[in-house]
Structure 1
Amino acid sequence: MNTDTAVLPVMTAAPAPEARRRPGVLRQLAVDSGYTLTNFPVAVAAFVIVVTGLSVSAGLLVITVGLAVLAATLVAARGFAAVERAWLPAVLGRPVPTPAYLVPEGGVVRKLLTPLRDPQTWLDALHALIRFPLAILGFVVTVVFWSIALTGLTYGAYDWTLPNSSTDPDNQDLLEVLGHESTAGRRILLYTAIGLVAAVILPFAVRAVALLQAQLSRIMLTSRAATQAEIGRLAEGREAAVAAEAVALRRLERDIHDGPQQRLVRLSMDLSRAQRQLDRDPGAARTTLTEAADLARETLEELRALSRGIAPPVLADRGLAAALAALAARSPVPVELAVDLPTERLAPVTENTAYFVVSEALANAAKHSDASTCRVALASDGLRMRVVVEDDGIGGAVLAPGHGLAGLTDRLQAVDGVLTVDSPRGGPTRMTAELPCA
């Protein structure tokens, strides 16, 4: 068995995710201005409809019509909230989750009452009330700063068209109000300077009021959706952990049944035969006992191999790097191992998962890839670990239910990890796992 192993240092850590591209100032100004200006009439409509609907439904609650009006009001608030959520990604620069509303079920009355039982619809209605003053503020700030900037920067083009104190003593401009002599040149210089200052402040002022409205909408309209998504992610991780453990237990049971259990049955039979041969044929009994001793050693070695696949003692005693070195030395396929890990020990679940990934990948490569060499690289920046296993085999590995890599996917999903496989027909196969270090 060829176990040539090269232990090489890894000089680079896992690549950082690509930075999100930020829009330019003018594009962001256009987005924010469009948001604040468009948001104002929508906010007015939402405020009027929700306030009117709540007021009418409160007066009609003594009869069934009141519930219908209240339900219709909440559904309308949900529609306005959906429009707002559609605008948020452009303003915030990132996607926002959409909450899961209750689905109407049952009879007519139960379906009618569904919006009344959904907490998110009440948040939508509350948002329609709270956003109204902020929408007014955003609209006023945007219109005022755009007006000052545009009229100031273009004042020199139309100063001659405006009446002044020379033609009408009652028409005084800003210079005259401040007690200074007013001429066309001075007026143009002053108003152009004011327009320039407003133009410089404009992107920041509009961005501030846009973010104020968008952040309020994000908190009220998407925070519950984010919580629901986190709960769903944790539930999926728990289910993946249960599935991975179930697969591991079934495989362990199969390995024990097909290996050590069969050997132990044979060992028991050999010992019984030797006991019967002891009196009438001591030589044959000695031969049988020798065979039984060899069988016992093979069984013990197989049990040790199974235990190493579950949790090798070297992993707990000496850490992940030593455990992977021992794993590479036992691999039927020559392995080039490169490890760049912190000096301090990582969390046990991280080390166990990384060891399991490398062990399974090397086992699959030995069984199915016809590879002549494998390369294993581990790197960690203290927050996440990146494990890359590559072989020069025939390829064709897929991430699909029922295949050998499905267990790896479940194991990584249980710890918030991700597995990607690049394995074209003809090879090579490159398996990349990323998992948190804590």
Structure 2
Amino acid sequence: MDERARTPWQALARGRYLRSAWPWRAAGYLAGSALTGIPVLLVLVLLTAAGATLSLVLVGLPLLALLGLVGVPAAAVERRRLRLVDHAPAGTPHRTPAEPGLLAWARLRYREQATWRELAHAVLHGFLLWWIDLVAVVTLLGLPLLLLTTPLQLALADDGEVKVVKLLPVTSYPVALAVAAAGAVLLPALLYPLGALAGARAALTRALLAPRGRELHGLLAEVTRSRARLVDAFEAERRRIERDLHDGAQQRLVALTMTLGLARLDAPAGPLADRLATAHDEAGKVLAELRELIHGIHPQVLTDYGLTGALADIAERSAVPVTADLCSDLPRLPESVEAAAYFGVCEALANIGRHSGAARACVTARHTGAALLIEVTDDGRGGADPAAGSGLTGLADRIAVLDGTLTITSPPGGPTALSLEIPCPVTSSPTPRP
């Protein structure tokens, strides 16, 4: 077999077709079409007849509904058969259901275009294509083989005469050998159209059952959904860590600080009191650092008051005076979106305080109904470069995970404008989370 060729058409164009296994692979592919076409035809006819007959008593309606899924298993078999004559991978165009169970699987399948393309292929294959494939194999391969066996047929004939293809009478071995020679010449000649037909059938099957563009689109959609699930899982894990630290380690540190404070008050003046005072101060510092860590993992103000209150809190605590122009009726958004927006503004204001030399900054936030738009501007020196390690690259990655975009305009001399846009359609105002 020509290892460079991936389809019969490529093998035909490269001149080594007859010396490869492609002719026999093509013949096997076309001959095997009947093995799948006949069962598909029977299932289609039986389900249609039974469903139409029993639909008057409503029993046939599930059968008619099941008819729409006949193409799914048939297409899976055809995609596997496609490997005989097409080495390119033929993956399934179907998506994975978001929920387990047969009902979720069926609901998704009925909504996919791939299911109806597969049903169309099943109908076409069951009623027409396998007939064409079988006739082609019998004609293009059976005819020369029949001619090649003419001497054997003559030897087995009782009356000393055989009619080749029911037309040409042969009564002598020289004529039989001549007919066999014609068959030997005709066989390699007819293998070329056989390979071309197999290539055409494979191309039709791939176009209907495994289109490359739709397959890539489906994979991209699945990657997008899995990325969203990972973001949600990451946010849930952040919340769990924050809750564990708040309810566990922080409470123990608070109790330790109070115990050290009481011991410090009760201890007489001297070295012991000084050591208790030092330990009390260190415990207070550790508690303050732990609170800052918990706030960095998931700020409580974001949970309690939403994005509007959290952004207002950031503006009040900023090292640079900030004017906050926030939409008062900003709805509660998914936790991953609110967290990304909150930490994005935190990073932007931190960069302004460290690098810009700005006297003032401004934060605006609004929701358009389809996306959250946030803009952070300052009157600093400008020249912000995401590649300079300012944290803007990480911020862009955080926003990109949610299919959002980060735009930075920062000419030398300023001003600098940083814009965040995160898609998050909101059809109704959700109930605020506690």
Structure 1-normalised TM-score?
Answer: 0.45
Structure 2-normalised TM-score?
Answer: 0.46
* Structure showing greater relative contact order (alpha-carbon pairs closer than 8 Å, 6 or more residues apart): 1
